[in-house]
Amino acid sequence: MSAKKNIRAFSLTELKEYFESIGDKKFRAMQTYEWLWKKNARSFTEMSNLSMELRRKLSEEFELNSLTVDATQHSSDGTLKSRFKTYDGHLIEGVLIPTEKRFTACVSSQIGCSLSCKFCATGLMDRKRNLNFDEIYDQVALLNEQCEKTYGQKLSNIVYMGMGEPLLNYKNVLKSIDKITASDSMGMSPKRITVSTAGVAKMIKQLGDDKVRFNLALSLHAATDKKRNEIMPINETNSIEYLIEALNYFYQHTKNDITLEYVLLQGQNDSLVDAEELITVYRQIPVHLINVIEYNPVAGIPFIKSGEDTTQIFTDYLAKNRVNVRVRRSRGKDIDAACGQLANKDKILA
């Protein structure tokens, strides 16, 4: 018996061709498509305007491998972290981050990660596999449902800053964004989506060639190759020089916003010398903003968060040198939902 096909891999045109091939009407394709991408059906049995016989036939011929919420944890600051289970039993995490002005979904792109950044909990995990485009989409859909239920609002923003390196799952990430932004699906503006990368220069250029419409964030975290090599091994093959070239190429071809992410680590990258080196990099890229990020502690990792005074001195120095800088305060620290903390911990509460 041949393996069932994933029905969500079918375009609307392909669904119409399928329904014609079984002697059914073309409009059944649109009904099914709406259940898959507008109503976010988790099974064929939910598709109530299709006949029982047709639903049975679809379930016999196709898979509908949707994510399920395995558990959810609530932070004292309103952040929600959810652990999702994939069809084949893997676990990933996504986060709903509410603020006064926006409701942001932080989603994962891989199960685990292969980059081993020294300050990141996900970097301690092995990469099991890439997430399929529909699994990434499901995270957004489920977090949007949580947002509507908890806060009475739809998601306003999406960041690909969860588990994994998005640009090492390039095709699925871009296809998921195509679905999220499609008018016959979620209809999110691409300008409200940011993809974060640890720095895969070749694929940053590919984003430019593909003329993507979403924004890009580079996790820089050190402004010299020597320091960046120590905390981010990817820099050994994607040097700062290559990244500067790639980011300029991306901007020339898209004109989309570029943000630099910079986590402050006590005694590692938080001196005024480090700030000056960061300014040197900043001047070579059309950067919209530098986000200075509080480090969030991870068990088994020796780094320490920079103090408030050090953070203030560092950011004041950047600002005095005409750098557009903002301190990004961590959300969800008490449930290990903040930047760098996602790792499928067992203590998550139902």
pLDDT at position 302, please?
82
pLDDT at position 2, please?
53
CA 223 to chain centre: 24
Which residue from 201, 238, 198, 197 is spatially nearest to 215, judged by alpha carbons?
A: 197
The answer to whether the beta carbons of residues 184 and 125 sit under 8 Å apart is: no
Mind giving me the DSSP string for 116-169? --TT-SGGGSPP-EEPPHHHHHHHHHHHHHHHHHHHS----EEEE-SSS-GGGG
Active site residue: 106, 117, 147, 339, which one? Answer: 339
CA distances from 20 to 16, 31, 32 (A): 6, 14, 14
> pLDDT per position in the chain (350 positions), as tens?
458 999 999 999 999 999 999 999 989 999 999 999 999 999 999 999 999 999 999 999 999 999 999 999 988 888 999 999 999 999 999 999 999 899 999 999 999 888 878 888 777 777 899 999 999 999 999 999 999 999 999 999 999 999 999 999 999 999 999 999 999 999 999 999 999 999 999 999 999 999 999 999 999 999 999 999 999 999 999 999 999 999 999 999 999 999 999 999 999 999 999 999 999 999 999 999 999 999 887 777 888 999 999 999 999 999 999 999 999 876 655 545 444 444 454 444 33
pLDDT at position 257, please?
96
Residue 117 annotated in active site: no
- Domains, the chain, ranges and CATH? 5-63 (1.10.150.530), 68-335 (3.20.20.70)
Which residue from 269, 281, 276, 267 is spatially nearest to 221, judged by alpha carbons?
A: 269
Residue 339 annotated in active site: yes
Active site residue: 34, 63, 93, 165, which one? Answer: 93
Gap between the Cα atoms of 313 and 67, Å rounded: 44
The distance in angstroms from the start CA to the end CA of the chain is: 38
